[in-house]
A = this chain, B = another copy of it.
Amino acid sequence: MSDSLLHNRWRRRRLLGAATAGGLAALGGHSGGRIAGAAPDARSEERATMSNDPLPSWNHGATKQAILDFVAAVTKDGGDRFVPIADRIATFDNDGTLWVEQPNYTQGFFAFDQIKTMAADHPEWKTEQPYAAILASDQQAMSKFTEHDLAAIIAATHFGMTTDQFDVDAKAWLETAKHPKFDQRFVECVYQPQLELLDYLRANAFQTFIVSGGGIDFLRNFAEETYGIPPSQVVGSSGQVTFKMQNGTPVLIKEAKIGSIDDKDGKPVNIHLHIGQKPILAFGNSDGDQQMLEYTDAGDRPRLMLLVHHDDAAREFAYDRTSSVGKLDTAWNEAVKRNWTVVSMKDDWARIFPFST
């Protein structure tokens, strides 16, 4: 009850009826992705289901079929691959899996922009590196930032304020900031096929979690509106937070100390801490997701592991084994070895973004 009502809060404007079809199927007790209905232009083996296709932005083929078959199997009451609702846990990486991560992580753009926003209160930044390079938009200097420079930028923009103040800053930025290539707000640069998949899974009583290397406080400022994923189902990297009374009111202060890096080994560790159950479906796109998929694959239940391969330079970006952002190398080898599903953005996705056609 509460979950379906909860999702009523999230009135996403971009899901062209797929959500409704899935939702009705779930309410009517349908177990999978096959929903009877008129399908005037159907020609594939999905003939009877086309008009109510829960994944209209996925091209027909082995990948889409693997997803449909998996969901049908685990929701078929009495079937030999049935999974009880309480165990239908799905985890999604965010950067490069649910939204664009090139030419840089969105949270990186946020940090750089925040330096500019905060500069008025920091006149010393005009001459102090690494801030000066950002304020001068010195691309060459910025491309040479060291780990130490980046840590200083994150510290200045993410720590030392209350969690409430950070939320105000993040929301204000997300409201307007645009992606340099697509000239759309970052929160619009999300993958339409994945929005449909999230909805399809929830319509089949999955709980959908984000398990991202991005900051948990940053993610929670858009995850519910953008993906329909409430704060308690967002797992991410975190800094340490302290509780403090400020003029008689309790506040939480974001300290400049690492809490947990939710990447690689950190993903199964945080899945255990936050969710407390192994997922039966895990979706990533880079080596940072390898351990999450290995952990999922070690479960006793039927399970599905997927990786997005960014091979579509025309519609998005093409990068894999040598990319500094979203490197897909060892996880790809592992996928081949273990028969994980590799999703070709170019071949498997009919449409990339809500704003594209």
Instruction: Flag whether A85 is at the interface (Cβ < 8 A).
Output: yes
Instruction: Flag whether A350 is at the interface (Cβ < 8 A).
Output: no
Q: A272 — which chain B residues lie within 8 A by C-beta?
A: 163, 241, 252
Q: A245 — which chain B residues lie within 8 A by C-beta?
A: 294
Which of A50-58, A182-190, A230-238, A319-327 lies at the interface with chain B? Answer: A230-238
Instruction: Flag whether A328 is at the interface (Cβ < 8 A).
Output: no
Report Cα–Cα, A340/B46, bound state, in Å: 59
Q: A40 — which chain B residues lie within 8 A by C-beta?
A: none
Instruction: Flag whether A268 is at the interface (Cβ < 8 A).
Output: yes
Q: A6 — which chain B residues lie within 8 A by C-beta?
A: 3, 85-86, 205
Closest to A85 in B: B5
A84, A88, A272, A298 pick with most chain B CB within 10 angstroms: A272
Using a CB-CB cutoff of 8 Å, which residues 235-286 of chain A contact chain B?
238, 241-243, 245, 249-250, 252, 259, 265, 268-269, 272-277
**Interchain nearest-CB distance for A331 vs B (Å):** 14
Using a CB-CB cutoff of 8 Å, which residues 266-315 of chain A contact chain B?
268-269, 272-277, 291, 294-295, 298
Query: B291 contacts A268, CB within 8 Å?
Result: no
Evaluate whether A206 and B252 lie within 8 angstroms (CB atoms) in the complex, with A9-B85, A220-B276, A232-B232 already known.
no
Q: A232 — which chain B residues lie within 8 A by C-beta?
A: 89, 207, 209, 232-233, 274-277
Report Cα–Cα, A206/B9, bound state, in Å: 14
Using a CB-CB cutoff of 8 Å, which residues 136-156 of chain A contact chain B?
none
Per-residue contact bits, chain A 1-23, to B (CB 8 Å; 1 contact, 0 not): 11111101100000000000000
Query: B243 contacts A86, CB within 8 Å?
Result: no
**Interchain nearest-CB distance for A94 vs B (Å):** 15
Instruction: Flag whether A174 is at the interface (Cβ < 8 A).
Output: no
Closest to A10 in B: B86
**Interchain nearest-CB distance for A227 vs B (Å):** 14
Report Cα–Cα, A213/B9, bound state, in Å: 32
Evaluate whether A238 and B273 lie within 8 angstroms (CB atoms) in the complex, with A4-B2, A86-B9 already known.
yes
Instruction: Flag whether A158 is at the interface (Cβ < 8 A).
Output: no
Instruction: Flag whether A346 is at the interface (Cβ < 8 A).
Output: no
A5, A84, A163 pick with most chain B CB within 10 angstroms: A5
Q: With A2-B85, A216-B273, A231-B276 given, name 8 new contacts (CB 8 A).
A: A1-B1, A1-B27, A2-B206, A220-B276, A232-B233, A241-B272, A243-B269, A245-B294
Minimum-distance CB pairs A-B, first 4: A231-B276, A1-B4, A243-B265, A2-B3
Binding site for B on A (CB under 8 A): 1-6, 8-9, 26-27, 84-86, 88-89, 163, 202, 205-207, 209, 216, 220, 224, 230-234, 238, 241-243, 245, 249-250, 252, 259, 265, 268-269, 272-277, 291, 294-295, 298
CB<8 Å pairs between A and B, sample of 18: A2-B4, A2-B206, A5-B85, A6-B205, A207-B232, A209-B232, A216-B273, A231-B276, A232-B233, A232-B275, A234-B276, A238-B273, A243-B291, A243-B295, A249-B298, A250-B268, A250-B291, A252-B269
